[in-house]
Every structure is written in C-alpha cells, then in structure tokens.
Amino acid sequence: MTKLRFLLLLVLLLSGITCMPALSLKQSLEEADDLSVGDRFILNIRGDGPLKSVELPDTLTNFHILKVEEKNKGTDKAWLRLTIVPLLPGSQSFPGLRVRSAKDAGESALTNRFRLNIIAVRAQGDTLLADLKPLSKYPLQLPGWLYPLLLLAGAALLLLSWLLNRKKEKPSEAPAATKPPAAIAPEADWQAALRELDELRARNLLAKGELVLHHFELSLIQRRFMERRLGLPAVEMTTSEIRRALAGRLQDNPAPVLGFLAYCDKVKFARYIPDPGEIREAEDWLRRWLLSYQPVAPKTYPTGEESHAPLR
C-alpha cells in the first residue's frame, strides 16, 4: 500500500511539471516582400517574458544571419531582432530557431518555420556574372597603413638628397674657347670594305672552327661594297641575279668577282672545306680587288727651269 501511494505521488509530480506553462513566442517579418538574393529582411521575436539569446543551427545554409540584436535588454520586455540575408533563389524554407529566456536559462522555445520566395538576381544560364572570391593576401604583403609612410619617407630622402647636392654645386665657369674640330673626310667605299676585311681577320673565326660564318662574312663584305659602289641590292640578291645585273657595270672583268661569290657559296651551302692556303688566296684577292678602286694620284710636273728641259 505504501508503494502504491509513492507511485501516485510521483505521477502527480511529473504531470504537474509537464503542465507548467511553456515559453510562448510571437514572431513577425519586416521588408520580406519581393526579396532577391543579397537583400535583407528582419525577423522580430517576442515572448511573454524577456528573451536572452537565439541558437543558430549549422544547417542554416540558404540564409545568412548578419546581426542579432537584443532590444530592451535588462527589462521584462527584452526581445530579439535578427537581420537576415537570403543566399539562394527560389522557394526557400527558414527553419525554426531555439530561443532562450532571460529569466530561466533552461526555459526555451522554437520559432515557427516559414517559407520565402527569393527572386534570382540573374537569368538562368547567365555566365557573365560570377561570385567574387575573397581577396587573397600575398606572403610578403605589408599592412595597408605602411605604404603611405614608405611614400613619405621616400619623398623626404629625395628632397634631402637634392638639398645636399645643391650645396655641393659650384658656379660653373665659362668654358674656354676651343677650336672647332677639324673636319674628317668621309670614308670611301673601298676603304670601308678594307676596314671590314681587317676586322673580320681580327675576329679569328677560322681558329674557332667557324668556317661557314667566316665565308659568309667574306661574301657580305663584297656584296655591301657593290651596293655602295653600284647601287645594287646585292645583299638581298642571289649569285645568279648578281651575274645578270653586273653586265657592263664593273670597271674590270666580272668573271673573278662572280668566281669569288661562287667560292663563298660553295663553302656556305655545299659544305666544301677549303685548305688554309685557298682561304688565304681568296682573302688576298678580295683585298687586291678593293684596292683597284683606289683613285690614282695625279702626276706632278717640275716647275721653274726644269720645266723647260726637253722631253724624251
């Protein structure tokens, strides 16, 4: 009998606890009409007693809570104001949030779920717009406030350097009168070609194994001379084209000139390997051929009594 009474008392106690009035909540929305992705709306949560906090579930991925404000904090009418941003378009369901009372930390209640129709910010399939990635920081990037200081320090150093150099400058004296440099006679075409030949020998390409390059330069010296002397674009012409263009334009027989070009072409293109004597002979012929264009000095005749001597 005693056990039966104890069980009855326990049942009455538990039923009294469950019959205690639970926390009652009221909620309202502001600016929730015609929402697009990124717009803000307000969720107001009030209760029959003061409210303290709200728990945000980890599954809340379609919305982002920007701010949770506790209004009338410290009074019996404390309530919560949430600023929310939708992240996805379409019909989105906002879950219930657990709200805790300010009087009793163990007392809580869930808000009602609601559904919002979010308008898409761009047409489906539009690829012109894309979500911006957060700015990435370089490993050695300095803080933003440090760059203006560096600019000011650089400007101060430049100003200081200019002031120091200005003090060291002395008044410049008038330059002494100097004689104008003597006019240098222009280099003749044959002299320019001889100079190029001497520079080629000084490069010593044969000792470096550059046989083809050496003969290419030899041919180029002769072709450039013909361009300056005859006005032919010999550098860009083939040997056959030069043969047709030289008819009647050289002061001597064109056969040796064409033979020299053919010799250089044989080394350049046919992989012909001449002996050192043949190479030296070709260089000497080119020198003699260039010297043949050196103008002959006019003859001088004796003056005075010697001028009346009988000519023999």
Measured on CA atoms in the order 202, 206, 212, 215, is the torsion positive or negative?
Answer: positive
Assign domain 22-118 to a CATH class. Answer: mainly beta
Domain boundaries, the chain: 22-118, 189-291
Kindly report, residue by residue over 232-283, the tens digit of the pLDDT: 888 888 888 888 888 766 656 788 888 898 999 989 898 899 999 999 999 9
Kindly report, residue by residue over 29-59, the tens digit of the pLDDT: 999 888 998 899 999 999 888 998 899 888 8
pTM of the predicted model, to two decimals?
A: 0.39
Determine the average pLDDT of the residues in 149-170. 85
Q: What's the pLDDT score for residue 79?
A: 93
Contact 66, 56 (CB under 8 A): no
Q: What's the pLDDT score for residue 155?
A: 93
Contact 258, 246 (CB under 8 A): yes
Question: Per mean pLDDT, which range of 109-118, 144-153, 188-197, 302-311 is the poorest?
Answer: 302-311
Determine the average pLDDT of the residues in 168-195. 67
How far apart are alpha carbons 301 and 306 in whole angstroms? Answer: 9
C-alpha distance across the termini of the chain, in Å: 179
| Strand order across the 108-110 sheet | 51-55, 98-101, 108-110
Q: What's the pLDDT score for residue 245?
A: 83
